[in-house]
């Protein structure tokens, strides 16, 4: 079986609480992670909540990277979903772990869009004519 994409569900713990309230810093870190990971940034939007917390998403041509923060717990939930073979999602993970000064992280990688293919046949992420 081959997969169209890889998704990493990330839990960042013991992060810098001030960083997790800073919408501009988070947006910049998320976009920068995508650039460092060689993703193609299409658009991004972020929102600060009252009294604190930030949610946002960076849409990339290869899928998306999303975040929700709980500064009061020093916690951020991040979803890194990439399609194709040009991006290594763990590069984004490592960049964000450092950017948020996370002392502990857990993660789970899953394959998305699993298809049976003939032996020796490669699953095309962008089929011709699509």
Q: Is the pLDDT of residue 112 over 80?
A: yes
pLDDT value of position 89: 92
Q: Which residues are catalytic?
A: 63, 68, 83
Residue 128 — pLDDT band, cuts 50, 70, 90? low
* Residue 123, φ and ψ in degrees, nearest 5: -70, 125
> Is 71 in contact with 53 (CB distance < 8 Å)?
yes
On whether the CB atoms of residues 71 and 21 are closer than 8 A, the answer is yes
- Give the separation between CA 115 and CA 61, rounded to whole angstroms: 21
How many helices and strands in the chain, by DSSP H and E? Answer: 2, 6
- Check whether 124 has a pLDDT greater than 80: no
Q: Mean pLDDT across the chain, nearest whole number?
A: 93
Q: Which residue spans within 14-90 are E strands per DSSP?
A: 41-48, 54-60, 63-70, 75-83
pLDDT grade for 79, boundaries at 50, 70 and 90: very high
Domain residue ranges of the chain, discontinuous segments joined by +:
2-115
Nearest-angstrom CA–CA distance, 35 and 126: 21
pTM of the model: 0.89
Whole-number Å distance between alpha carbons of 35 and 41? 7
Q: Provide the CATH topology of domain 2-115.
A: 3.60.90
Q: What confidence tens digit (pLDDT) does each residue in 24-69 have?
A: 999 999 999 999 999 999 999 999 999 999 999 999 999 999 999 9
Strands 2-13 and 104-115: antiparallel
């Amino acid at each position: 079986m081959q997969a169209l994409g890889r998704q990493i569900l990330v839990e960042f713990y013991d992060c810098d609480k001030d960083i997790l309230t800073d919408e501009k810093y988070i947006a910049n870190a998320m976009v920068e992670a995508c650039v460092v990971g060689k993703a193609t940034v299409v658009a991004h939007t972020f929102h600060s909540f009252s009294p604190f917390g930030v949610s946002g998403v960076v849409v990339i041509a290869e899928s998306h990277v999303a975040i929700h923060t709980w500064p009061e717990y020093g916690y951020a939930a991040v979803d890194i979903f990439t399609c194709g073979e040009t991006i290594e999602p763990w590069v984004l993970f490592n960049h964000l772990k450092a950017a948020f000064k996370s002392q502990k992280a857990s993660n789970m990688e899953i394959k998305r869009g699993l298809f049976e293919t003939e032996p020796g046949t490669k699953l095309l992420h962008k089929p011709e004519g699509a």
